[in-house]
Amino acid sequence: MSLVPLCSDLPQFLQGYLPNATKKETSIRPFITLTYAQSLDARISKGPGIRTTISHPETKTMTHYLRYHHDGILIGSGTALIDDPGLNCKWGRDSLANSPRPIILDTKQKWRFGGSKMQELYNKGLGKPPIVVVANDPAIKEHHVEYAICPMDKATKQIDWEKLFEKLKKDFNIQSVMIEGGAKVVNQLLLRNDIINSLIITIGSTFLGRSGTEVSPLQSVNLKGITWWKGTTDVVMCAKLDNE
């Protein structure tokens, strides 16, 4: 499916929140953008296992413009298994060159590249092959997939985000990552002002109801550098996570 044209005021609106392509990041971690689309009642899907369109076509195009500006695009295995996303970039003339590298957080090793939309795009020369984040050497290694082995923190039984992003930069030369969900990933990273450089949230003019998948961090989060864009049915907020 082709995209509608990018709204002419969006590049200027997003500029201060994108990785700077001309300036190599000096930090040991990549530039990290946290981005997702939510309903007015802070839901990102109608419920577990239900792929839900929230964005208007013009903010869908914006997402592809964001993909164009990042080296990697990270999602949790929940999203990979439920949505079977392509994660390539349809904005611009050359999908393969413009696409970010998909990064799938799959410590339980449940997702397979084989048979996925990502593989279909890769086979057609329209997308890049994924990096799969695992906690230990995977029992099954798939063709064309690279694995980032990232040990779990023993206490939290979660991967250490800092170590993961350092590894992505050092071992895979990923200078910028956009994180596209889902809820478990977003809820953790909304609390990480030490890691997240930009927050870009699309809000669609719909309510998805209480059985919807909610995004809401464990504690309150303050924002700064806030700016809003208004489209036909959606608004987009760009911000930075505050240090307070």
Ligand X SMILES: Nc1nc(=O)c(N)c(NC[C@H](O)[C@H](O)[C@H](O)COP(=O)(O)O)[nH]1
Ligand Y SMILES: NC(=O)c1ccc[n+]([C@@H]2O[C@H](COP(=O)([O-])OP(=O)(O)OC[C@H]3O[C@@H](n4cnc5c(N)ncnc54)[C@H](O)[C@@H]3O)[C@@H](O)[C@H]2O)c1
**Chain contacts with ligand X (rule: CB under 6 A):** 37, 52-55, 63, 75, 79, 83, 85-87, 117, 180-181, 202
Shortest reach from residue 13's CB to ligand Y, in Å: 19
Contact status: 74 vs ligand Y (CB under 6 A)? no
- Pick the binder of ligand Y from 58, 71, 83, 234 (CB under 6 A): 83
Contact status: 180 vs ligand Y (CB under 6 A)? yes
Please identify, among the stretches 21-29, 100-108, 121-129, 165-173, the one whose residues bind ligand Y according to the rule CB under 6 A.
100-108
- Pick the binder of ligand Y from 14, 29, 31, 45 (CB under 6 A): 45
**Total residues at the site for ligand Y (CB under 6 A)?**
26
Contact status: 102 vs ligand Y (CB under 6 A)? no
Picked from ligand Y, ligand X, none, the partner binding residue 184 (CB below 5 to 8 A depending on kind) is: ligand Y
Strand order in the sheet with 31-38: 146-149, 131-134, 101-105, 72-76, 176-179, 31-38, 198-203, 235-241, 223-230
> Do residues 87 and 52 touch, judged by C-beta distance below 8 A?
no
Q: How far apart are the first and last CA of the chain?
A: 43
| Long-range contacts of the stretch 147-151 (C-beta < 8 A, 24+) | 148/103, 148/172, 150/107
Contact status: 105 vs ligand Y (CB under 6 A)? yes
Burial class (CB in 10 A: 0-12, 13-18, 19+), 81: middle
- Alpha-carbon span 206 to 204, nearest angstrom: 6
Picked from ligand Y, ligand X, none, the partner binding residue 93 (CB below 5 to 8 A depending on kind) is: none
The residue among 48, 68, 10 whose CA lies nearest residue 202 is 10
- Alpha-carbon span 230 to 213, nearest angstrom: 24
Contact status: 182 vs ligand Y (CB under 6 A)? yes
Contact status: 82 vs ligand Y (CB under 6 A)? yes
Picked from ligand Y, ligand X, none, the partner binding residue 87 (CB below 5 to 8 A depending on kind) is: ligand X
The residue among 82, 76, 78 whose CA lies nearest residue 159 is 76
Nearer to ligand Y, 39 or 95 (CB): 39
Binding site for ligand Y (CB under 6 A): 36-37, 44-45, 51, 54, 75-79, 82-83, 105, 107-108, 158-159, 180-185, 188, 213
